[in-house]
Structure 1
Amino acid sequence: MKKIILLFACVLGFSAFSQIKVLKNETVVEVGKDNSVGLYKKDNKFTINYQDLNTANLNTFRSFSFENLNKDVSGLYELISNGFIDIPVSNIVLELPNDIIELHFEKNFGQPTVQFIQYINKNRKYVGKSQILNKKQVDKIFGRLNGKSSLYEKPETAAMGNPANRPVNSGSAANTGSNKDRKTKK
């Protein structure tokens, strides 16, 4: 009897103090990637990963994340695209929940380019810099060339008041004629 209790205690103790824990495999969707810069989506959170060119170790990868609350991904893309058309005089500063990001625009060989400069944890001492990107590379990263931009451009439906996941009738001009037809068919 003592041996059975001892064996039971050992098995129970071994399983309770194990170091390896199986985690749920959550999927991350790649929106777009070019060389060492990529945009990824997980739920409604978007992450930009890049190889940090500001460190001596070229194997250092950094990232910054934000949620797509008010079409922020589309807004960031438009901000960068407008910067290619009319290059800003100084860096555009963006404050994210954990980091500060600067968009540095300049012309390289007559072509407008952008570079992400990240102040990690909002600390100006720790700086990460992405590679310099042209318009075609930005389009590829934001999924404009592979059609994956629909991952962040979709309107959010069925959040509240629309449990069937159907588009909400907006009352546009195309819909007003059908209401008249219903009344006359009585």
Structure 2
Amino acid sequence: MKKIILLFACLLGFSAFSQIKVLKNETVVEIGKDNSVGLYKKDNKFTINYQDLNTANLNTFRSFSFENLNKDVSGLYEIIINGFIDIPVSNIVLELPNDIIELHFEKNFGQPTVQFIQYINKNRKYVGKSQFLNKKQIDKIFGRQNGKSSLYEKPAPAVVNPANRTANTSTTAESGNKDKKTKK
């Protein structure tokens, strides 16, 4: 009996203090990637990962994320492309929910390029910088070359609320009855 209790106690202790936990496999779709900069999608949230050139350790990767609420991914792409056409005098500042991103445009070897400058957690003390990217690299990152740009332009599936649907049906029926009464 003592052995059974001891065995039960050992098994209970083993499961309670386990360090490894199986997580749900979440699907992340790669929209595009070039060298050390990539754009990824999970549900309606988009993440740009980049290798931080602002640190001494070149193995530092950073990221910033935003949701595609008002076609923000297409909007960001258009801002960058317009910056290549007419290089802005100063950096374009974008405020995201968690970070501040500056788009720094510069001509390198006569070719317009852009660099992401990230103020991590909106703190000007912690800065990350991506490599300079040209138009061809931006097209690749945003999926314009491989056709994956259609992934971020798809609308989110609509959620039907049964309570609203019945309310709308009753008002439609009432208005239909009013039309019938006026026709008589």
TM-score range, shorter chain: 0.7 to 0.9
Structure 2 matches for 1:25-64, cutoff 5 A?
25-64=25-64
User: In 2, Cα distance between the equivalents of 1:157 and 1:60?
Assistant: 36
Letter in 1 for 2:127: V
- Work out which of the two has the higher radius of gyration on C-alpha atoms and give 1 or 2: 2
Cross-structure match for 2:146: 146
Letter in 2 for 1:141: I
Structure 2 portions without partners, runs of 5+: 162-184
| Seq. identity, % | 93
> As a proportion of its length, which structure holds more helix?
2
Cross-structure match for 2:3: 3
Cross-structure match for 1:15: 15
Question: TM-score w.r.t. structure 1 length?
Answer: 0.83
Structure 1 portions without partners, runs of 5+: 162-186
User: In 2, Cα distance between the equivalents of 1:97 and 1:108?
Assistant: 31
Change over 3 Å in CA distance of 1:22–1:150 after alignment to 2: same
User: In 2, Cα distance between the equivalents of 1:65 and 1:157?
Assistant: 21
Pairwise CA distance, 1:96: 0.7
SS of structure 2 residue aligned to 1:144: coil
Pairwise CA distance, 1:3: 2.0
Structure 2 matches for 1:9-158, cutoff 5 A?
9-158=9-158
The one-character-per-residue Cα deviations of 1:15-47 (angstroms, maximum 9, x if unpaired) are 111111111111111000001100001111110
Letter in 2 for 1:113: T
SS of structure 1 residue aligned to 2:6: helix
Name the count of aligned residue pairs. Answer: 162
Pairwise CA distance, 1:158: 2.8
Cross-structure match for 1:184: none
Letter in 2 for 1:82: N
Report the RMSD for the aligned CA atoms in angstroms.
1.4
User: In 2, Cα distance between the equivalents of 1:51 and 1:42?
Assistant: 20
Change over 3 Å in CA distance of 1:94–1:21 after alignment to 2: same
User: In 2, Cα distance between the equivalents of 1:130 and 1:160?
Assistant: 42
Cross-structure match for 1:183: none
Question: TM-score w.r.t. structure 2 length?
Answer: 0.84
Following TM superposition, where does structure 1 have runs of at least 4 consecutive aligned residues deviating by more than 3 angstroms?
none
Letter in 2 for 1:98: N
The one-character-per-residue Cα deviations of 1:133-175 (angstroms, maximum 9, x if unpaired) are 01110000000000000011123343347xxxxxxxxxxxxxx
Letter in 1 for 2:113: T
Pairwise CA distance, 1:109: 1.8
Pairwise CA distance, 1:106: 1.3
SS of structure 1 residue aligned to 2:118: strand
